[in-house]
Structure 1
């Protein structure tokens, strides 16, 4: 994160805010490209900068929320328009990956709620909006849950950076970042765990039905 913080600190405030908007937008809007950009880490870095007065906090949070919401909206539209074609052209290493299967199962099980559950998981955050559009998840419900997920996720990431920035000189920031990382890891793992448990339950029910 230190490298990203240094890069953001070296550019004008307006450009930093633009980056804070664009990176969350790129993840679901351009799934393959979005996997290459650490938007969650960038938001945490923006929180560090905000703590030191190098970035206005309200603007950083607003840009992060709007970027996350815009990315979900564009991802949904991309899925509705080109979803089947995109899926057909994905390489096998993507479609056979655990993350892709988890995203597919999460959307199939939770429908629009998948966009809320997946917001805190990097892989699901990237793939779920496009998948929701591909399978025709209703627009209004998708939009409402996307807004809720963005309002929960973006300020949380910036807040972790703010807390880390406040403790950087006193504790070196490592302890706070470790605690924040543990919280983010827990929330990131929760959607996959729920999807896995749901899948096992469905398999058990199917086995009982067959046996019966």
Structure 2
């Protein structure tokens, strides 16, 4: 599997910036996150950064910016065409239950919902648009929470993929030598058992006597 990813990743190269950033942007901007969570693309991009196909910190910057701008576009879309969006074909596919749960979530947490919703796939796609429909103040409330969520989520997903790749490389090296270690341990245990068996005296029986 690792070899397959390395072969594919070597061909994509710098396209990871565009693909992962585009999915992070589109997740809330056009509700792509209801079908394909952007976090998956960012984790793969972190893996690509560890393999050396792209640079880590530029990818982190792309992830954070794409997430923040995508949510801002989703907010503006909700503010301008909220009722039409909910009654559109896309809105009907989202379903009344998802709209209602997002509305309740926003009403309950206010500006914090923009940050908290970032870490749940369905809410991440719908919360910005719902915030726009509710006319949440953009500069005073939505934008600060949006930037905070984008920074934590975008950077976190990329770094998670980077760390996973490092762990995978360590595990692959360990797996290479693990059978040899197990064989050596098993041989040592068998040898100790044989030596102990040779040194231990045979069973002695005592005849009980009655006085």
Alignment TM-score, normalising by the size of structure 1? 0.72
Q: Is the 8 A contact 1:112 1:138 kept in 2?
A: no
**CA distance in structure 1 between the aligned counterparts of 2:5 and 2:26, rounded to whole angstroms:** 17
User: What residue number does 2:112 align with?
Assistant: 113
User: What residue number does 1:151 align with?
Assistant: 151
Map 1:3-152 to 2 at 5 A: 8-13=9-14, 15-31=15-31, 33-89=32-88, 90=90, 92=92, 94-97=94-97, 99-140=98-139, 141-152=141-152
Rate the CA distance shift 1:8–1:82 in 2: closer, same or farther, 3 A. Answer: farther
User: What residue number does 1:205 align with?
Assistant: none
Report the structure number with the largest CA radius of gyration.
Answer: 2
Rate the CA distance shift 1:101–1:22 in 2: closer, same or farther, 3 A. Answer: same
Number of aligned pairs? 170
Rate the CA distance shift 1:6–1:121 in 2: closer, same or farther, 3 A. Answer: farther
CA RMSD of aligned residues (A): 2.4
Rate the CA distance shift 1:43–1:122 in 2: closer, same or farther, 3 A. Answer: same
Alignment TM-score, normalising by the size of structure 2? 0.73
Rate the CA distance shift 1:47–1:96 in 2: closer, same or farther, 3 A. Answer: same
